[in-house]
Amino acid sequence: MQRDSSCFPAADGPDAATAVRLSDVELSLGSGAARVHILKGVSLNIGAGEAVGLVGPSGSGKSSLLMVLAGLERADSGEVEVAGQRLTGLSEDALARFRGRHVGIVFQAFHLIPTMTALENVAVPLELAGRSDAFERASAELKAVGLGHRLDHYPAQLSGGEQQRVAVARALAPEPAILVADEPTGNLDEAIGQQIMDLLFASRAARGTTLVIVTHDLGLARRCDRMVRLRSGHIEAEAAMTATAPDAIPETVTA
């Protein structure tokens, strides 16, 4: 597609706002015989405000790639730059501060704190980040995901889909520059899944949030600007989802 350069600066140009730069990233996890070489030379640039759908077979490294982007796993080698910050070489404390300031994470397993209510799960990280309006903000975000009537429930008292929605509210509440989400609609029925997608894309529309979303849901993937397909720890294919062909996801990324 020919782009009008006055509206769309080249995504890889020196002046373009780039949210993520991965260069030749290698990642191995586990020890001894259980050590697995997971990411094998992954290079990927994502523009600020871009929505990228990450697809690929089970075990191809999608969740691991999100962990590297979010600063939760350290690459063995290669360069990782997120929100203008080079993550390679940051201390654990600096990485934690970086995550708190810039990254929202929706995990594949929700990672809610079982001894905290839905409201506390969303509000406490905001409080720790120094927000004086933590509980008001958390309450508003939970209402936005349709859980205004479940604020005082503990995770064990919520359905899987409700827990997923708390996890999405928690990730969006600090208004992060980058949101990484691992199967955010995986446990949800279609209507609620649609509502969650709308929230993720509304956050992008309102605040320019960069979205990196692992999904098997082609409906969600179609709403992204680009799809990237991983296989066996490397990028096998990628394709722009152009406005002119919203229903035609190239076979190279769906096959």
Ligand X SMILES: Nc1ncnc2c1ncn2[C@@H]1O[C@H](COP(=O)(O)OP(=O)(O)OP(=O)(O)O)[C@@H](O)[C@H]1O
Minimum CB distance to Mg ion smaller for 120 or for 183 = 183
The total number of residues written for the chain in this structure? 255
63, 163, 187, 209: residue in contact with Mg ion (rule CB under 5 A): 63
Calpha distance 87→155 (Å, rounded):
32
Q: What angle do CA 209, 214, 218 make, to 5 degrees?
A: 100
Judged by CB under 6 A, which stretch of 30-38, 129-137, 204-212, 238-246 contacts ligand X? 30-38
20, 22, 38, 44: residue in contact with ligand X (rule CB under 6 A): 38
Burial level of 188, CB count in 10 A (0-12/13-18/19+)? buried
DSSP annotation of 149 reads G
Q: Which residues, including other chains, have CB under 8 Å from residue 204's CB and lie 6 or more apart?
A: 49, 51, 210, 211
Binding mask 106-145 for Mg ion (x = CB under 5 A): --x-------------------------------------
Binding mask 156-185 for ligand X (x = CB under 6 A): ------------------------------
Q: 244 touches which of Mg ion, ligand X, none (CB within 5 to 8 A by kind)?
A: none
Q: Which residues, including other chains, have CB under 8 Å from residue 74's CB and lie 6 or more apart?
A: 68, 87, 88
Cα dihedral 170, 172, 177, 179, rounded to 10, equals: 80
Token pair listed for 243: 């406005």
Tell which positions 42-71 bind ligand X, by CB under 6 A: 56, 58-64
CB of 214 to Mg ion, least distance (A): 6
CB of 35 to ligand X, least distance (A): 7
Q: 208 touches which of ligand X, Mg ion, none (CB within 5 to 8 A by kind)?
A: none
Numbers of helices and strands, H then E, in the chain: 8, 10
Tell which positions 119-138 bind ligand X, by CB under 6 A: none
**29 near ligand X (CB under 6 A):** yes
Which residues sit at the interface with Mg ion, rule CB under 5 A?
Answer: 63, 108
Which residues sit at the interface with ligand X, rule CB under 6 A?
Answer: 29-30, 34, 36, 38, 56, 58-64, 108
